[in-house]
Amino acid sequence: MGTTANIIDFESRYAADFKQLNLEWLELHFRVEPVDEKVLSRPEDILRDGGAIWLAQDRGVIVGCCALIAKGDRTYELSKMAVTAGAQGKGLGRRLLEATVKGFADIGGRQLFLETNTALKAAIALYESAGFEHQKRPHPSPYERANVYMVYTGEGRFKT
């Protein structure tokens, strides 16, 4: 079942929506860590530092988001991906992921990685289907909850 949602670029007027979407899943599955609070309280820093944020908007309501956070040397973290519970199962996660991978390619990114947790099975399956592969973590994680590290290796390889 699809949705009429549009994927749009972040604007500062959506900062509270971006934060609330992420608090919703973090509080449901884990806890809000200091690194989350910092990023969610100042999403404009993501943009200022060379990253991007995309939002899923359905009938004027923001129902999903995903960020591309610059880490230096053309390396980016796919982060803060969330779809509100009532909008899940409609393909929005895939559409947000596609927009983020396309944005990464458009800015000439060299490496795209993400960190997640084994408890988020549906998210991991989505990432795998899109061309992300499990790899050994090359650095300590800033997230206590992260026990999975994945790197994008499948340019445009979204499976249906």
CA-based angle 131:3:109, to the nearest 5? 30
Please report the pLDDT score of residue 86 as a whole number.
87
Q: Which two tokens stand for residue 152?
A: 């994008």
What percentage of the chain has pLDDT greater than the value 90? 85
Please report the pLDDT score of residue 3 as a whole number.
64
Strand order in the sheet with 75-83: 6-9, 52-58, 61-72, 75-83, 111-116, 148-152, 132-134
Please report the pLDDT score of residue 89 as a whole number.
87
Q: Which residue, among 38, 41, 5, 46, has the nearest Cα to 20 in the 3D structure?
A: 41
Q: Does residue 1 register a pLDDT over 70?
A: no
Q: Which residue, among 100, 108, 28, 105, has the nearest Cα to 64 in the 3D structure?
A: 100
For residues 6 and 86, give the distance between their C-alpha atoms in angstroms, rounded to a whole number. Answer: 16
Please report the pLDDT score of residue 62 as a whole number.
96
* Residue listed under structure tokens 């899109």: 130
Average pLDDT over residues 123-132: 93
Mind listing the pLDDT tens digit for each residue in 66-103?
999 999 999 999 999 999 988 988 889 999 999 999 99
pLDDT band at 160 (very low <50, low <70, confident <90, very high): very low
Domain 6-152 class?
A: alpha beta
